[in-house]
Structure 1
């Protein structure tokens, strides 16, 4: 079954020493820093894909709360091999952003990534390669400071 024509982004965060830290992951194939990213499989919704991708890429032993963010972006369809299976005229796919709280949770990276670093907001923002990752981080950081996380979807 081809990948669904959408992208997800999951920003892991944790509480540490009265501040928030954000996980950035170094991609093995591109040598860049990003958040958890991936696409839907079969008939998954974006939230279901985000839960699965976070579990796979971070080696999570149990599901963690997943907070939907308002941030959305568009990714050119030409970057995806499965584009040939999508409807004619699909030139961009939406990217949906989520956050997950990993305070006190052990992480085991998948082979998609060579490193994970916990950074404060500014250092994480500076490290992230893609604008969509930085915009989602901006939203998450503001929400955390305002104690205004949305209701988790799972």
Structure 2
């Protein structure tokens, strides 16, 4: 039996210098597109969670580009269809936001069984495509953070 997921996670928006954003489609919910996400394991530092999740979900190494810890946390209600992964009574998650800036759009190696497809989209289209409101907000914030 798998241990309960921790209600502490990361959101990593992977983008190019010109704000093309990598989206990946969830295998457990086809049609749900997102940036890299994942829960902390054990006592790992949250920055380590971000790097591990990027490696697991895309195959990109931590040195692939420029990392940014946004020092931002979002607290949101866990979707009911995913609550069984957490301890009984856990209904909210704290998400830590990061981004990884790449010089060019790279081809990811998706985690088997976790994601079905990937695509690079301009940031405006990516923000419209993702299912998570906090993911959409982070993608929209790219323009303020990274465009001159």
Q: Identify if the C-alpha distance between structure 1 residues 50 and 80 changes in structure 2 by more than 3 Å, giving closer, same or farther.
A: farther
Normalising by structure 1, we get a TM-score of 0.79
How high is the TM-score relative to the length of structure 2? 0.82
Displacement after TM superposition at 1:143 (Å): 0.4
Gaps spanning 5+ residues in structure 2: where? Answer: none
Structure 1 gap ranges (5+):
147-154
Deviations 1:74-118 (A, max 9, x none): 233563445327xxx644121111100232444211121111111
Q: What's the counterpart of residue 99 of structure 1? A: 99
Q: Deviations over 1:48-82 (max 9, x none)?
A: 11110001000124534321125432233563445
CA contact 2:83–2:91 (8 Å) conserved in 1: no
Note closer, same or farther for the CA distance 1:115–1:12 as it changes in structure 2 (3 Å cut): same
Give the 3 Å change call, closer, same or farther, for CA 4–23 of structure 1 in structure 2.
Answer: same
